């Protein structure tokens, strides 16, 4: 939960910086995209808690993919926005795949929650 809170903080900070501190349109777009995806996956990480508490124990593995994907996906976009070589964008899709794996894990975990019988 601490890492999710940190991730949320960073997402808001980057989004605000994109809106108020960047004039280059490409850098602004990278920051906005990175912030949006980071915040979505921060919320996904927090949603894992509900699924775990409902009995979907497999969901405990999804945050590693959400947060790791954030570091790679959003981090590479942030780095390019701040001047890193554009070749760094080659690793951005790896973060996207990690996001997909996290959501697939969360889906299976939620699907496997025992439903109460009447």
Q: Tens of pLDDT along 81-105?
A: 999 999 999 999 999 999 999 999 9
pLDDT score of 118 more than 80: no
Instruction: Check the CA dihedral 47-65-30-28 and report its sign.
Output: positive
Helix-helix angle 92-111:62-81, to 10 degrees = 160
Give the C-alpha separation, 74 to 62, whole Å: 17
Question: 103 near 44, Cβ under 8 Å?
Answer: yes
Query: Cα(first)–Cα(last) distance of the chain, in Å?
Result: 35
User: Each residue of 3-31: pLDDT tens digit?
Assistant: 999 999 999 999 999 999 999 999 999 99
| Euclidean distance between CA atoms 55 and 4, whole angstroms | 21
Q: Which two tokens stand for residue 103?
A: 């959501």
Q: Is 64 exposed, middle or buried (0-12, 13-18, 19+ CB in 10 A)?
A: middle
């Amino acid at each position: 939960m601490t890492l999710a809170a940190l991730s949320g903080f960073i997402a808001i900070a980057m989004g605000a910086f994109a809106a108020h501190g960047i004039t280059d349109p490409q850098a602004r777009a990278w920051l906005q995209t990175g912030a949006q995806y980071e915040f979505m996956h921060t919320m996904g990480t927090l949603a894992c808690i509900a699924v775990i508490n409902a009995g979907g124990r497999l969901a405990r593995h999804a945050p590693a993919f959400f947060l790791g994907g954030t570091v790679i996906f959003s981090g590479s976009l942030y780095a390019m926005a701040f001047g890193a070589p554009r070749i760094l964008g080659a690793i951005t899709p790896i973060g996207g795949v990690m996001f997909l794996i996290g959501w697939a894990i969360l889906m299976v975990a939620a699907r496997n929650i025992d439903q109460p019988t009447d």
